[in-house]
């Protein structure tokens, strides 16, 4: 079973949103487990201090390596140890798939200015980021990471195939979706999707995915196609036409 352990100063933030919907049902059904451990329980002084002022001066406080190490050592069992940091490697669907296929994860949530640098090396910690912006703490990042892993666990998502078409899985963004009513505020569903011609629909979706990726995420498109293939020509039907 996928076992998630979150090391945090705010264990009350868990399971939080992971207690609802897909992840919450799977948690209730025992398809994954969640343990939120308070880093403060591993403080060594009377005042239960977890942080101290930055060496060299400057603003803010830094989480102590010795306290973090004690917290990590209390739960370490070979699962990957991930720390949420803005300078970490940006999370990708590929890394999420790898983590979700493993025994689980130990997720370290920072606060204040972050972690004493020595903890990363000292405990073989992998730094991951959820994007180029600054959160007030790692907890939201941990929720994002775990949500992305949990939906991939066997038996969690309704139709197993619904994961394979998603954006990023194929190296492309997903094609656009429509549902009833056929006409809404003068906007109609593209004719081809109502044709019942599955080959034509598949071809249309592939083209839309390629066009969308090229226009919205040239970085993904570049990686997908390399220099090998020319980008598709022709604009996609505008959604507001
Ligand atoms: N001083 C740090 C920011 C600290 S923000 C810096 O400038 O890089 C406090 C904590 O929030 C961090 O320790 C980290 O755990 C978390 N955090 C903030 N932004 C994040 C992001 N984009 N991805 C993952 N974790 C983040």
Residue 12's pLDDT is what? 98
Question: Which residue has the CA at smallest separation from atom 16 of ligand 1?
Answer: 138
Most distant pair of Cα atoms in the chain: their distance = 72
| 131 Cβ inside 6 Å of ligand 1 | yes
Point out the residues of the chain with pLDDT beneath 70: 160-163, 227-241
Ligand 1, atom nearest to 108 Cα? 15
Residue 192's pLDDT is what? 98
For residue 15, the enclosing domain spans 2-150
C-alpha 41 to ligand 1 mean position (Å): 22
C-alpha 217 to ligand 1 mean position (Å): 25
Q: Is residue 168 part of a domain?
A: no
| 114 Cβ inside 6 Å of ligand 1 | yes
Q: Is residue 156 part of a domain?
A: no
Q: Is residue 138 part of a domain?
A: yes
Q: Is residue 230 part of a domain?
A: yes
**Do 216 and 98 reside in the same domain of the chain?**
no
- pLDDT tens-digit readout, 104-141: 999 999 999 999 999 999 999 999 999 999 999 999 99
Q: How far is the C-alpha of 192 from the C-alpha of 194, rounded, in Å?
A: 5
| 54 Cβ inside 6 Å of ligand 1 | no
Q: Is residue 162 part of a domain?
A: no
Chain centre to alpha carbon of residue 133: 14
Mention every residue, 6+ apart, whose C-beta is less than 8 A from residue 130: 84, 90, 91, 140, 141, 144, 145
**Do 210 and 99 reside in the same domain of the chain?**
no
pTM of the predicted model as reported, rounded to 2 decimal places: 0.92
Residue 230's pLDDT is what? 59
Domains: count for the chain: 2
Answer whether 84's CB lies under 8 Å from 106's CB: no
Ligand 1, atom nearest to 112 Cα? 9
Q: Is residue 177 part of a domain?
A: no
**Do 118 and 6 reside in the same domain of the chain?**
yes
C-alpha 131 to ligand 1 mean position (Å): 10
| Annotated binding residue 135 | yes
In the DSSP assignment, the letter for residue 12 is G
| 100 Cβ inside 6 Å of ligand 1 | no
**Do 111 and 227 reside in the same domain of the chain?**
no
The enclosing domain of 139 has a CATH number of 3.40.1280.10
């Amino acid at each position: 079973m996928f076992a998630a352990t979150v090391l945090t100063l705010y264990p009350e933030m868990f399971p939080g949103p992971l207690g609802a919907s897909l992840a919450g049902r799977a948690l209730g059904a025992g398809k994954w487990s969640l343990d939120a451990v308070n880093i403060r329980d591993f403080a060594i002084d009377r005042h239960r201090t977890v942080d101290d002022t930055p060496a060299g001066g400057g603003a803010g406080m830094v989480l102590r390596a010795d306290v973090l190490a004690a917290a990590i050592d209390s739960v370490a069992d070979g699962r990957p140890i991930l720390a949420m940091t803005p300078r970490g490697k940006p999370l990708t669907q590929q890394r999420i798939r790898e983590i979700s296929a493993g025994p689980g994860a130990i997720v370290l949530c920072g606060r204040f200015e972050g972690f004493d640098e020595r903890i990363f090396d000292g405990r073989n910690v992998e730094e991951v980021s959820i994007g180029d912006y600054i959160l007030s703490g790692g907890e939201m990042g941990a929720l994002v990471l775990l949500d992305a892993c949990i939906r991939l666990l066997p038996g969690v998502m309704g139709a197993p195939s619904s994961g394979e078409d998603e954006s990023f899985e194929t190296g492309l963004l997903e094609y656009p979706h429509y549902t009833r009513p056929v006409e809404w505020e003068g906007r109609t569903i593209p004719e081809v999707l109502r044709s019942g011609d599955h080959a034509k629909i598949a071809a249309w979706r592939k083209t839309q995915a390629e066009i969308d990726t090229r226009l919205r995420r040239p970085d993904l498109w570049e990686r997908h196609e390399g220099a090998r293939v020319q980008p598709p020509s022709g604009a996609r039907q505008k959604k507001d036409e």
